[in-house]
């Protein structure tokens, strides 16, 4: 059975990933990063989502800022509150009294070799955890990261940078250079695996509290996706979660070294892939290129309680 530890900045697509995780696996905790919006909102959103799911998954608040340089959030996609500005009631729950980075280190020590770590946010908390415990990778069964744009078609104001990496490139550098090998679900794969709007609308129309909540918080992001010429709803973190939950869903992947650009005036935050393995650096990433779309959508549908979903 899976046991997941999810580092996340909810966030509309994070919310879908968290719903999927709770539908298909055990969740040891949510460690929360700043990213899509500020930490107060990402923590509050995680707590509210735990209410909707009706579980007791602990929520650990992490770093409010990137490691080195300040960064701009993505409130224009996710809403100023990160959950579509629906004015939902705040949760009465509180985050646990332990920093997210410390919680990652502790949970990995308590459950050696059992956790799949799913990173759906800027890598600030993970970088700190790795600095707290250099042996962390040996205690984690598998790391799946949503981040990067492997051929340079990102989604931030710097063309090649994807949001999670571009928000905190130094943290990404710590993780990419310090973790032996991880699965990477990059932004471009997520765009290729967008869910057609019609299918998405059907799924969120399910008669469950989860689907109603998700329909409300995703409305703005759906409009953003449509007005930006996408062929469907890009739910990046949900695709990474599907890969974490069902490794067999991957149809094609390639293993290469990926470096992080820290200095470039036009390219800071780029994920530079050595596609031809020319530079002699060890492989650090398995890049997921193709996923079984039908299976992926069935997992999303099941998480929302859509009828007929697997
Ligand atoms: C990633 O950035 C965030 O805006 C999303 O939640 C996702 O994790 C996509 O680039
Ligand atoms: Ca995210």
What pLDDT does 96 receive? Answer: 98
Cα of 280 from ligand 1 centre, angstroms: 30
Model pLDDT, residue 310: 54
Cα 103 to ligand 1 centre (Å): 22
In this structure, are residues 197 and 180 in contact, taking their beta carbons and an 8 Å threshold? Answer: no
Q: Which of 9, 17, 15, 4 is nearest to 296 (CA)?
A: 17
pLDDT of the chain along its 310 residues, tens only?
A: 579 999 999 999 999 999 999 999 999 999 999 999 999 999 999 999 999 999 999 999 999 999 999 999 999 999 999 999 999 889 999 999 999 999 999 999 999 999 999 999 999 999 999 999 999 999 999 999 999 999 999 999 999 999 999 999 999 999 999 999 999 999 999 999 999 999 999 999 999 999 999 999 999 999 999 999 999 999 999 999 999 999 999 999 999 999 999 999 999 999 999 999 999 999 999 999 999 999 999 999 999 998 876 5
Give the span between the Cα atoms of 98 and 121, in whole angstroms.
Answer: 19
* Probe residue for ligand 1, chosen from 12, 83, 118, 147 as the CB with the greatest number of ligand atoms within 8 Å: 147
Ligand closest to 269 (CA) is: 1
- The minimum-distance atom of ligand 1 relative to the CA of 163 is 10
Q: Are 155 and 163 in contact (CB under 8 A)?
A: yes
* Strand, coil or helix: 226: helix
Looking at residue 309, its pLDDT comes to 65
Confidence at residue 283, expressed as pLDDT on a 0 to 100 scale: 98
pLDDT of residue 307: 80
Rg, the chain, Cα only: 18
Distance 121 CA to ligand 1 centre (A): 7
**Side-chain half-sphere of 188: how many Cα atoms within 13 Å?**
15
The CA 207 to ligand 2 mean position distance, Å, reads 26
Q: How far is the CA of 182 from the centre of ligand 2 (A)?
A: 17
Strand, coil or helix: 35: coil
Q: What integer pLDDT is reported at residue 1 of this predicted model?
A: 53
Task: Give the C-alpha separation, 206 to 161, whole Å.
Answer: 35
Centroid of ligand 2 to alpha carbon of 74 (angstroms)? 10
At residue 86's C-alpha, the angle toward residues 85 and 89, to 5°, is 110
**Whether the Cβ atoms of residue 278 and residue 295 lie closer than 8 Å to each other:** no
Which residues does ligand 1 sit against, CB inside 6 Å? 11, 13-14, 36, 74, 120, 146, 155, 162-164, 187, 236-237
DSSP label at 88? P
286 membership: H or E segment, kind and range: strand 285-291
Pocket test for ligand 1, best of 7, 11, 123 (most atoms within 8 A of CB): 11
**DSSP H stretches of helix in the chain:** 12-24, 39-53, 75-78, 100-110, 124-132, 136-139, 163-167, 169-178, 187-192, 197-204, 209-227, 236-245, 293-304
Ligand 1 atom at minimum distance from 121 CA: 8
Tell me the angle at which helices 293-304 and 209-227 cross, rounded to the nearest 10 degrees.
130
Q: What pTM does this model have?
A: 0.98
Structure tokens at 302: 């099941």
The pLDDT value given to residue 88: 86
């Amino acid at each position: 059975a899976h046991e997941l530890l999810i580092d996340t900045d909810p966030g509309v697509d994070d919310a879908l990933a968290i719903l999927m995780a709770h539908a298909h696996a055990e969740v040891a905790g949510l460690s929360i990063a700043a990213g899509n919006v500020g930490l107060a909102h990402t923590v509050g959103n995680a707590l509210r989502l735990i209410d909707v799911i009706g579980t007791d998954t602990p929520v650990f608040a992490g770093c409010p800022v990137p490691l080195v340089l300040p960064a701009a959030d993505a409130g224009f996609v996710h809403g100023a509150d990160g959950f579509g500005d629906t004015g939902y009631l705040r949760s009465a729950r509180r985050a646990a009294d332990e920093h997210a980075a410390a919680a990652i280190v502790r949970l990995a020590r308590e459950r050696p070799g059992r956790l799949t770590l799913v990173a759906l946010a800027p890598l600030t908390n993970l970088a700190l955890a790795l600095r707290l415990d250099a042996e962390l990778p040996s205690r984690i069964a598998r790391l799946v990261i949503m981040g990067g744009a492997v051929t340079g078609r990102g989604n931030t104001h710097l063309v090649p940078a994807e949001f999670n990496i571009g928000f905190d490139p130094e943290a990404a550098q710590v993780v990419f250079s310090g973790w032996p090998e991880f699965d990477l679900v990059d932004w471009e794969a997520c765009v290729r695996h967008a869910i057609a709007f019609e299918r998405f609308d059907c799924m969120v129309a399910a008669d469950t509290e989860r689907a109603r909540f998700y329909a409300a918080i995703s409305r703005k992001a759906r409009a953003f996706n449509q007005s930006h010429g996408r062929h469907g709803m890009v739910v990046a973190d949900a695709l990474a979660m599907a890969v974490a939950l069902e490794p067999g869903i991957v149809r094609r992947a390639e293993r290469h070294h990926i470096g992080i650009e820290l200095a470039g005036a036009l390219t800071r935050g780029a994920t530079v892939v050595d596609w031809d393995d020319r530079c002699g650096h060890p492989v650090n990433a398995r890049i997921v290129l193709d996923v079984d779309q039908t299976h992926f959508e069935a997992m999303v549908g099941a998480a929302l309680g859509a009828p007929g979903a697997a």
